[in-house]
Structure 1
Amino acid sequence: MADKITERDVTHIAALSRLKLSAEETGMLGRQLNDILLYIEKLNELDTTGIEPTSHILPLKNIYREDHTETPLDRGAALSNAPDKTERFYKVARIIE
């Protein structure tokens, strides 16, 4: 099978990604991408008729905890360890001019 990904393709993708690749890296990545495409073609040869799509091989389910409301933290307690504060707010350095 001829390579589907050429060095020119790899160079173009690298330019779009703002990556600087050496000639050695370009060749290596081209070979790796072609190997991936070969493997996908091999997988496409399999008969998957009657097999349900799955995202994981093990049966998984989410376990949720019970959601309980609680009394909110008192403002004074929340601000007690702040290095710089006002009566109601944290004070932070200005970052927008």
Structure 2
Amino acid sequence: MPGITREEVAHLARLARLELTDEELDHFAGQLDDIIGAVARVSDVASADVPPTSHPLPLTNVMRPDEIRQGLTPEQALSGAPAQQQQRFRVPRILGEE
């Protein structure tokens, strides 16, 4: 497998508008090469008899079922409001809007 070259890292850095030093180019080239190698090893392990999954364990829904129940009345909802008007919360006007 061919390694990632400094020129390829420099090209990616230009696309991302990153300014990298020569030492950083060498360092990141090695790191990216290691990452690509690790991904290739994972691809080698996957076989046709193993279905692709997003999670190693099956997921179950842990939410409770929806139940209809009585909500708050407008008076109860507004009971702690500092200001109200026509059964609504009254808030300060912003940006001089009418």
Cα distance between partner residues in 1 of 2:29 and 2:91:
49
Q: Which has the higher Rg, Structure 1 or Structure 2? A: 2
Identify if the C-alpha distance between structure 1 residues 52 and 71 changes in structure 2 by more than 3 Å, giving closer, same or farther: same
Partner of 1:2: 3
The residue aligned with 2:62 is 63
Q: 1:6 to 1:68 in 2, by over 3 A?
A: same
With normalisation by structure 2, the TM-score equals 0.67
Q: Distance in 2 between matches of 1:21 and 1:56?
A: 37
Structure 2 unaligned regions, length at least 5: none
The match for 2:79 is 80
Unaligned stretches of 5+ in structure 1? Answer: none
Q: How many residues align?
A: 92
| Aligned residue type for 1:52 | P
| Corresponding letter in the other structure for 1:51 | V
